[in-house]
Structure 1
Amino acid sequence: MLDRAWIAAHIPHQGSMCLLDTVSEWSENSIACRTSSHTDPANPLRAEGRLGAANGIEYAAQAMAIHGALLASSDDQPRQGYLTSVRSVTLHTARLDDLPGELLVRAERLSGDANNILYQFSVSHADRCLLEGRAAVVLDASTLSKEQP
């Protein structure tokens, strides 16, 4: 199990913006992380004293970033990814901050190449799915702006 210190050393999110506490399992195609940061009154994603369920997308994006860091060769500098779209997102609850204990954040790589990846993700609590969807990640955003001849 990889802890918060390992996570913070491998993704760009630092301090309280590093939302995930542990990596509980991972493989070439998937990752599962756990966290209780949703219960923290100082969570930086809170607005008007609450943490809406849509913020679970950021939790999933960080799991994807961790997955990328785990797959990178130890000699490689992890590449910074950019969430370019989320699709088919379904929220099964209104908020996350009123749930005690840990959240389970899962991401599964559905397809991709060296620069573009499609993930399916979910955030759950006590075996109840809170939100789910798909996300596209681009690892080199400079390729998006290059004009084609």
Structure 2
Amino acid sequence: MSTSGTLPDHAWIAARIPHQGSMCLLDAVLQWDAGHIVCRASSHTRADHPLRAHGSLGMANGIEYAAQAMAVHGALLAGSDRAPAAGFLASVRDVQWHAPRLDTLPPELHVLAQRLSGDGNTLLYSFRLEAAGATVLSGRASVMLDASLA
């Protein structure tokens, strides 16, 4: 687990994922290694959250938090100061949520993603979001790294 030195913060993350401004949802990386990443997020509490609809932030939006954690994991594994090639969320499976909304959860979320398998073009991750130590969302996601090869 890489916890030595300075771990990536919001500015580092924003420089390496395609989502900018208020759509960069993660605050920081708490820990990571070749197989997994744990990030912290508090953006779900913002009244001006870009994914809010009809005054609330539904739990399904947690999938975007997980996707961003996967992108950050890819950037860390790439080991470069530039953004890695864009990935695209190809599918999500076995998604389960245990709360109806993100915006009513405690102010700190932990976003965990574990790389299960992958090749040069496709990756499979499991993910979960935790609030106050309890899982509020979990599932699996496949990511396509180069859509032109499909």
The TM-score bracket by the shorter chain reads over 0.9
Counterpart of 1:90 in 2: which secondary structure? strand
1:23 and 2:22 equivalent? no
Aligned CA-pair RMSD: 1.1
Identical amino acids, percent of aligned pairs: 62
Equivalent position SS for 1:118: strand
- 1:35-74 to structure 2, matched below 5 A, reads 35-74=41-80
What does residue 90 of structure 2 align with? 84
Displaced runs of 4+ in structure 1, greater than 6 A?
Answer: none
Which one of the candidate residues 109, 114, 117 is aligned to 2:120? 114
Partner of 2:106: 100
Please identify the structure whose Cα radius of gyration is greater: 1
**CA distance in structure 2 between the partners assigned to 1:19 and 1:55 by the alignment:** 11
TM-score (norm 2): 0.93
Structure 2 stretches of 5 or more lacking a match? 1-6
Unaligned runs of 5+ in 1: 145-149
Aligned length: 144
Which one-letter code corresponds to 2:88 in the other structure?
Y
